[in-house]
């Protein structure tokens, strides 16, 4: 009984002190009240709310404050896309700049069928750790390591691992770009969603070695270069690169590629490309 | 020794020999977190000084006029945290109103003064070392000024590091920790300077 009284007494005393301070704080809060711009609240409600940091600010609250201060662009929220850009422009009373929707593309097809492992990796399950270990566990030292750093970091759950290669679900991807920064191989690229013709290889090794490393590696044969009507595809550093600004998405480069590493994402949607074997073994 | 000399020596010992960061290793989180720019470091130091001085004052009254009469001295930690948390809230409101730019620069570290162990450390040490009211407040104020000195020195060094060539593995926090260690060793030189006085 005595103990209980003691405990209750302690609680009451501490509670009393707490109430006293609370009262003082309440008075101080009234005295030092700062008028918050109501537009901040409105902007905060209109952005994606993912706190992904793609805008360059420390979370959505900081971004909202920066937009109202006029520091950040109303189209700065990439995950929110054109919808939130429009809403923000309305709140801020400026004309909406059109936002080109972007999507992350994993430029690698080096799945378990196409790339041979060089050694069994049994360390920390992270691409950064594995990739830095003598060129990584896969035969190709340019491609996807396959341990899913990007999967872990994607704030929207848009990336999954399929047969050892990261695959982006382009309907879920908001184009925030977090995965681009996290991939140690730099194989993920932000591209306009309508840029559907993509070279899915970053292998810079010379042709013969590239072909040995991966069944779908770009060997730098320049057939695509010769075929392109607008000269938008160029082999640079042993790997074909498409200039998205001039590419007309005609797809002329796709059938001529002997390694099947140029892909049209429009056609790709229905088929299970990554589990599919390349047609001819080059 | 006249009491004034004694007080003066006590002040110096708080800043130099008993520096909260370099000899007691309290308050290392803001010391490393907010020491990127001299400007924000000064702001943080002043905020901590304000909180620490007032916390010493209030906890003295809370301890000797509330906890001791009610024989609840074992509650001092939680009661002091309560005092510090309230003070930090007041400082936060005050800064938000009067210095929004400083408020923005301090960011998350401002509410984290609540859990700054230097602040709690000062208040607890005041009790365990049996300081009277004057000495408690002096300990809080000058201990915090020692913190200010340390964080500003650190910020000065780190600003210069920005343009220095540093090996990649040491960049950022590792080199900062090395510097903090060296500064701590340098401050070791002040130890026993006021031995037997404070």
Contact (CB<8Å) B90/A25: yes
Predicted confidence (pLDDT) per residue in A176-229, tens digit = 888 888 898 889 988 888 888 888 998 888 888 888 888 888 988 888 888 888
Which H/E stretch holds residue A190?
strand A188-192
Report yes or no: B153 and B163 within 8 Å, Cβ to Cβ: no
How far apart, in whole angstroms, are the C-alpha atoms of residue B142 and residue B133? 14
How many Cβ contacts (< 8 angstroms) between chains A and B?
42
| Strand pairing category for A165-168 and A159-162 | antiparallel
Yes or no, beta carbons of B75 and A13 under 8 Å apart: yes
**Shortest Cα distance, chain B CAs vs residue A13, angstroms:** 8
Using a CB–CB cutoff of 8 Å, tell me whether B75 touches chain A. Answer: yes
Pick among A2, A8, A14 to test the B interface (most B CBs inside 10 A): A14
Cross-chain residue pair A10–B83, CB shorter than 8 Å? no
Beta carbons of B93 and A28 less than 8 Å apart: yes
Kindly provide the residue ranges of all beta strands, DSSP E only, lying in A47-158, ordered along the sequence. 102-106
Six-digit token string for A67: 């937009």
pLDDT (0 to 100) of residue B7: 87
Residues A37-53 have pLDDT tens digits of 778 888 888 887 777 77
Q: How confident is the model at residue B71 (pLDDT cuts 50, 70, 90)?
A: confident
B140-196 per-position pLDDT tens digit:
999 999 999 999 999 999 988 888 888 888 888 899 899 999 999 998 888 877 766
Min Cα separation A41/chain B (Å): 17
B93–A9: do the CB atoms touch at under 8 Å? no
Q: B114 touching A, CB under 8 A?
A: no
State the CB neighbour count (10 A cutoff) for residue A39: 16
DSSP element (H, E) containing A236: strand A233-236
**What tokens does B158 get?**
């780190």
Give yes or no for residue A265 having a pLDDT over 50.
yes
- A207, two tokens: 């042709």
Distance, in Å, from the CA atom of A63 to the CA atom of A69, rounded to the nearest integer, reads 10
- Judge whether B127 is closer than 8 Å to chain A, CB to CB: no
Cα atoms in the Cβ-side hemisphere of radius 13 Å centred on A266: 8
pLDDT of residue B156: 92
How far apart, in whole angstroms, are the C-alpha atoms of residue B152 and residue B45? 8
The Cα–Cα gap between A153 and A246 comes to 32
| B1: contact with A, CB 8 A cutoff | no
Most confident stretch, A58-67, A273-282, B161-170: B161-170
To the nearest whole Å, the CA of B178 is away from the closest chain A CA by 25
**Residues in CB range of A64: below 8 A, 6 or more apart:** A40, A41, A43, A44, A47
> What does A103-123 look like in DSSP terms, one character per residue?
EEEE-----TTTB-BSS---S
> Residue B106's closest CA among B59, B164, B160, B50?
B50
State the pLDDT at residue B137.
92
């Amino acid at each position: 009984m005595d103990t209980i009284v003691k405990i209750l007494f302690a609680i009451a005393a501490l509670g009393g002190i707490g109430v006293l301070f609370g009262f003082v704080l309440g008075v101080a809060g009234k005295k030092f009240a700062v008028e918050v711009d109501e537009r901040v609240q409105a902007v905060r409600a209109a952005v994606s709310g993912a706190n992904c940091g793609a805008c360059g600010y420390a979370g959505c609250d900081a971004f909202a404050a920066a937009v109202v201060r006029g520091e950040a662009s109303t189209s700065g929220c990439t995950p929110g896309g054109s919808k939130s850009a429009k809403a923000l422009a309305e709140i801020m009373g400026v004309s909406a700049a059109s936002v080109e929707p972007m999507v992350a593309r994993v430029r690698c097809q080096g799945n378990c069928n196409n790339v041979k492992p060089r050694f069994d990796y049994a360390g920390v399950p992270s691409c950064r750790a594995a990739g830095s270990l003598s060129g990584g566990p896969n035969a190709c030292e340019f491609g996807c390591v396959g341990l899913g750093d990007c999967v872990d970091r994607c704030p929207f759950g848009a990336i999954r691992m399929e047969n050892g290669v990261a695959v982006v679900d382009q309907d879920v991807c908001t184009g925030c770009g977090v995965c681009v920064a996290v991939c140690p191989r730099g194989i993920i690229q932000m591209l306009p969603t309508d840029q559907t013709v993509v070279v899915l290889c970053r292998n810079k090794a010379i042709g013969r070695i590239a072909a040995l490393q991966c069944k779908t590696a770009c060997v730098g044969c320049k057939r695509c270069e010769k075929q392109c009507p607008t000269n938008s595809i160029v082999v640079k550093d042993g790997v074909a690169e498409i200039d998205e600004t001039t590419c007309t998405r005609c797809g002329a480069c796709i059938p001529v590629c002997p390694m099947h590493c140029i892909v049209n994402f429009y056609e790709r949607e229905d088929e299970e490309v990554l589990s599919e074997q390349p047609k001819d073994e080059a | 020794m006249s009491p004034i000399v004694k007080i003066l020596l006590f002040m110096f010992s708080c800043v130099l020999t008993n520096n909260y960061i370099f000899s007691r290793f309290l308050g290392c989180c803001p010391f490393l977190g907010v020491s990127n720019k001299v400007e924000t470091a000064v702001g943080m130091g002043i905020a901590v000084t304000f909180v620490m001085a007032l916390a010493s004052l209030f906890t003295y009254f809370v301890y000797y006029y509330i906890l001791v009469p009610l024989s609840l001295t074992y509650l001092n930690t939680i009661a002091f945290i309560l005092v510090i948390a309230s003070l930090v809230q007041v400082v936060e409101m005050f800064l938000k109103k009067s210095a929004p730019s400083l408020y923005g620069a301090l960011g998350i570290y401002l509410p984290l003064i609540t859990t700054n162990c230097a602040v709690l450390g000062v208040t607890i040490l005041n009790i365990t070392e049996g300081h009277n009211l004057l000495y408690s407040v002096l300990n809080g104020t000058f201990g915090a000024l020692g913190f200010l000195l340390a964080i500003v020195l650190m910020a000065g060094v780190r600003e210069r590091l920005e343009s220095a060539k540093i090996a990649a593995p040491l960049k950022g926090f590792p080199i900062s920790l090395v510097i903090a260690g060296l500064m701590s060793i340098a401050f070791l030189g002040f130890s026993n300077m006021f031995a037997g006085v404070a």
